[in-house]
Amino acid sequence: MKVIYWKKIPSARFIDGSVLCELQGGRSGVCSHRNVGAKISALMLYIALGLCAEDEDVDGKGRFLRASPTYDELQNLTGLSRPLISTALSVLDELQLIEREPQGRGASYLLTGYDYTKGWCKVPFRAISKKVNGSVQIEPFSHFNKRGLIELYALKLFLYLLAIRGNETSESKVSYELISERTAIPRKAIRKTGSFLLNSGLLSNIKRSSYQDGGDSDHEGGANKYYVTGFNDLLVRR
């Protein structure tokens, strides 16, 4: 059986912060009318769709990342209820992160913004998923209660770290200032957010810069090194 080490998701809108800053915890942004739980669920679901997506070459139309999971499969992957999945899909629609296409009694989901030559990043599949009673689950999601800003910040930071990692490097190297600028996570909450990611199992290690807490982010040493769980798998070539 072929081992799946990682899957693809589009990365451009996570790198520039255009989506992550929209998903603020406050009352601004495209999804300002949504509560924190809906935003957390949306990012959980996006990661799950990424793990289900396949690179599809459509004659005359280009290449796409398409996911076609059932609601039952999404429930198993994320631990979300069916109503939360429905709400999360609506949030992803509002953010223009997906396009839904009817498919029989269900739907398929195109992950928008995909350019197979660039502009995509790797999500660790093998390291964060496990099979339970024949169903695949994203194990770290069992630590999420779908409430509280730290959980929202954690998913935003996780996606940002995936997006900025160089293809030949194990880690994502970035300062608090840049994280805050691109994700709208308050600087004072970044350390706690990193700790949550470590405890949940989405991150495996953080090598902290001696300059970071002193605020000297312009110095080369001002960037921490973040290692997502399964970082070695991300270096495997297909």
In a domain, 212, yes or no: yes
The number of folded domains in the chain is 1
Q: What is the SS3 assignment for 41?
A: helix
In a domain, 152, yes or no: yes
pLDDT of residue 103: 85
pLDDT of residue 46: 98
In a domain, 1, yes or no: no
Return the ∠ at Cα 147 (arms to 144 and 149), rounded to 5°. 100
Q: What is the DSSP string of the chain?
A: -----EEEEE-HHHHS-TTTTTS-SSS-STTTTS-HHHHHHHHHHHHHHHHH-EEEEETTTEEEEEE---HHHHHHHH---HHHHHHHHHHHHHTTSEEEEEETTEEEEEETT-BTTBSEEEEESTTTEEEETTEEEEGGGGG--S-SHHHHHHHHHHHHHHHH--TT-SSEEE-HHHHHHHH---GGGHHHHHHHHHHHTSEEEEE--TTGGGT-TTSGGG-EEEEETTTTGGG---
pLDDT of residue 2: 82
Q: Which residue in the block uniquely carries the two structure tokens 């949306």?
A: 42
Q: Select from 30, 97, 28, 23 the least CA-distant residue to 65.
A: 97
pLDDT of residue 60: 67
Q: What is the mean pLDDT of each run of 10 residues along the chain (238 residues)?
A: 92 94 70 88 98 86 90 97 97 96 89 92 97 93 95 98 96 96 96 98 92 46 90 93
Q: Which residue in the block uniquely carries the two structure tokens 């409430």?
A: 147
In a domain, 186, yes or no: yes
In a domain, 139, yes or no: yes
Q: Which domain holds residue 215?
A: 6-235
Q: What is the DSSP string of 97-111?
A: SEEEEEETTEEEEEE
pLDDT of residue 28: 57
In a domain, 48, yes or no: yes
